[in-house]
């Protein structure tokens, strides 16, 4: 009796495909289709996002930047840090007040986020949105009284020493007010 070699060749060609299908199925989280990749590393991403939300939550509020934050003594502005999103990033809005006309200039947006990549856990102003160039490379922290401390590059030579490449610090007290009650109409 002669056995055809062809009958064994077909299953051998299918083995690599079965191994690949098994690998893709292992990466599936069960909620998505086989091979969707849902679930692969999601726990770590979710854990980091939850930690970032917890880290940023105390920053939520309105801070009074009135003073020499942009090189002009008495310049009135507010920095609004919104509640962190589920992905662990807070929206930041800078509202600068035009003192002579008592109106609010166009708002500028950025983000406040935790430096996960650097591994140092610093909170920094992101580069999304309009970027707050006046507070470029800003690193944020909270003081013991709840004020916002911003360490940022002094591009505008706010301290008047002629050095535009140094870092400077500005402390902005937290304002216990609602955003709508605080700001005049837009210019």
**What are the pLDDT digits (tens) for 117-140?**
655 667 777 665 556 666 767 888
Asked whether residue 8 is assigned to any structural domain, the reply reads: no
Q: Is 176 inside a domain boundary?
A: yes
Phi-psi region of 103 (alpha: psi -120 to 50; beta: other; left: phi over 0): beta
- Report whether 83 contacts 70 (CB < 8 A): no
- The C-alpha atoms of residue 178 and residue 186 are separated, in whole angstroms, by 16
**Within-domain flag for 23:** no
- Which residue range(s) make up the domain with 81? 52-182
What pLDDT score was predicted for residue 35? 46
pLDDT of residue 128: 55
* Residue 9, in any domain of the structure: no
Name the domain count of the chain: 1
Tens digit of each residue's pLDDT (9 = 90 or more) over 64-88:
988 766 666 777 888 899 999 998 8
Q: What is the CATH number of the domain that holds 71?
A: 2.40.128
Residues of the chain with pLDDT under 70: 1-41, 68-72, 116-121, 126-134, 136, 156-159
Residues in contact with 149: Cβ distance below 8 Å, sequence separation at least 6, in sequence order: 140, 141, 142, 143, 169, 170, 171, 172
């Amino acid at each position: 009796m002669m056995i055809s070699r062809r009958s064994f060749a077909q299953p051998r060609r299918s083995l690599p495909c079965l191994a690949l299908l098994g690998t893709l199925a292992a990466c599936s989280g069960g909620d998505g289709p086989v091979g969707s990749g849902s679930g692969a590393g999601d726990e770590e991403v979710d854990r980091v996002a939850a930690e970032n939300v917890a880290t940023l939550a105390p920053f939520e509020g309105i801070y009074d930047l009135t003073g020499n934050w942009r090189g002009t003594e008495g310049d009135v502005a507010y920095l609004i840090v919104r509640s962190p999103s589920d992905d662990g990033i807070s929206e930041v809005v800078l509202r600068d007040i035009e003192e002579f006309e008592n109106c609010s200039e166009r708002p500028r947006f950025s983000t406040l986020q935790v430096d996960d990549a650097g591994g140092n856990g610093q909170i920094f102003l992101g580069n999304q949105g309009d970027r707050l160039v006046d507070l470029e490379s800003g690193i944020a922290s909270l003081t013991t009284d709840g004020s916002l401390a911003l360490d940022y590059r002094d591009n505008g030579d706010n301290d008047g020493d002629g050095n535009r490449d140094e870092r400077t610090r500005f402390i902005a007290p937290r304002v216990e007010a609602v955003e709508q009650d605080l700001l005049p109409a837009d210019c």
